[in-house]
Amino acid sequence: MKAEAQALKGHLEVLLLAALEDGPRHGYAVKEALRDGSGGRFDLPTGTIYPALHRLEEAGLITGSWSTVDGRRRRTYHLTAQGLRRLHADRSNWHGFAAAVTALLERKPWPATT
Amino acid sequence: MKAEAQALKGHLEVLLLAALEDGPRHGYAVKEALRDGSGGRFDLPTGTIYPALHRLEEAGLITGSWSTVDGRRRRTYHLTAQGLRRLHADRSNWHGFAAAVTALLERKPWPATT
DNA sequence: CGGCGATAGATAGGAAACATAGCTATAGAC
DNA sequence: GTCTATAGCTATGTTTCCTATCTATCGCCG
């Protein structure tokens, strides 16, 4: 349950959306998918996951519905059309962001000092 | 002076350190280097840059010294040995982070739902 | 039976970092 | 004389994530 990353700041939501892209999942399953899909790197506490899902739902990017499986309540989320559009936009934005950071980190020499 | 990215959260410091890697710079020059080196993507306000540099200095990762050029005060920063080590560590960490996020964003199908 | 770990959900409170907005000051252009 | 670019600073606000704690069920182990 240790979180390697406050570095996720600002990039968590796109990961949650991506986790819901190929089908609905309940919150706990999203948490596991993130952990397993990242080789354990993004093993986020539920105190991070659930509020983030609530934000996404409130923003209309996902919708949730309750069900009960084996006596346990589940809230299963799926992407809305708006959420899908946002995922596409954010994914493309991520690539631009990552490319820019990587370029700056590799850069030598940097633009000249005034 | 508009900042495209709150997404920088957690990744600004490594960029500042990288900007100082091939020689000392003053704060305003760091800001310009970041803007120009990213094609305008990271055009950060001074209210972001200066406090970040102060944090780095207080952490012992950079040191600054005052000078006066053309009647304007400048504080020129350079990397400490500790800052250089941190840069190396953070840079390598960035590559891992970026690879993990990218992999998750491309991933389909995701690890199975329980 | 009793306790514990995994599953499933939630919230309250705090900390960190970036943005907004405002301030001082000089040099040079218009 | 005013405006822009250069050069620096900080107080306040917001967002976002983490820590800690809580409820509850199920299955396993002793």
Q: Tens digit of pLDDT for each residue in A13-32?
A: 999 999 999 899 999 999 99
Closest nucleotide C1' to the C-alpha of B30? D7
Q: Report chain D positions within 7 A of protein CB atoms.
A: 6-11, 15-21, 24-27
Contacts of A72 in chain B (CB under 8 A): none
Interatomic CA–C1' length for residue A71 and nucleotide C1, angstroms: 22
Say yes or no: Cβ of A50 under 7 A from any atom of strand C.
yes
Q: A4 pLDDT band (50/70/90 cuts)? A: low
Q: Indicate whether B20 pLDDT > 60.
A: yes
**Structure confidence by residue, pLDDT tens digits, B34-89:** 999 999 999 999 999 999 999 999 999 999 999 999 889 999 999 999 999 999 99
pLDDT for position A55: 97
Better-predicted residue by pLDDT, B54 or A112: B54
Minimum-distance CB partner of A36 among B21, B28, B111: B111
> CA-nearest residue of chain A to B30?
A113
Q: CA A83, CA A76: separation in Å to the nearest integer?
A: 15
Extract the runs of DSSP E, i.e. beta strands, from B15-98. 25-26, 62-69, 72-79
Are A33 and B113 inside 8 Å of each other by CB?
Answer: yes
Say yes or no: Cβ of B8 under 7 A from any atom of strand C.
yes
User: How far A62 CA lies from chain B's nearest CA (Å)?
Assistant: 17
- Options 2.40.50.140, 1.10.10.10, 3.40.50.2300, 3.30.365.10; CATH for A12-106 is 1.10.10.10
Are A94 and B107 inside 8 Å of each other by CB?
Answer: no
Q: CA B18, CA A108: separation in Å to the nearest integer?
A: 9
pLDDT for position B6: 65
pLDDT for position A114: 59
Contacts of A111 in chain B (CB under 8 A): 32-33, 36-37
Output B11-14 pairs: Cβ under 8 A, ≥24 positions apart: B11/A7, B11/A101, B11/B94, B12/B44, B12/B48, B12/B52, B13/B52, B13/B55, B13/B56, B13/B61, B13/B90, B14/A105, B14/B87, B14/B90, B14/B91, B14/B94
**Structure confidence by residue, pLDDT tens digits, A39-89:** 999 999 999 999 999 999 999 999 999 999 988 999 999 999 999 999 999
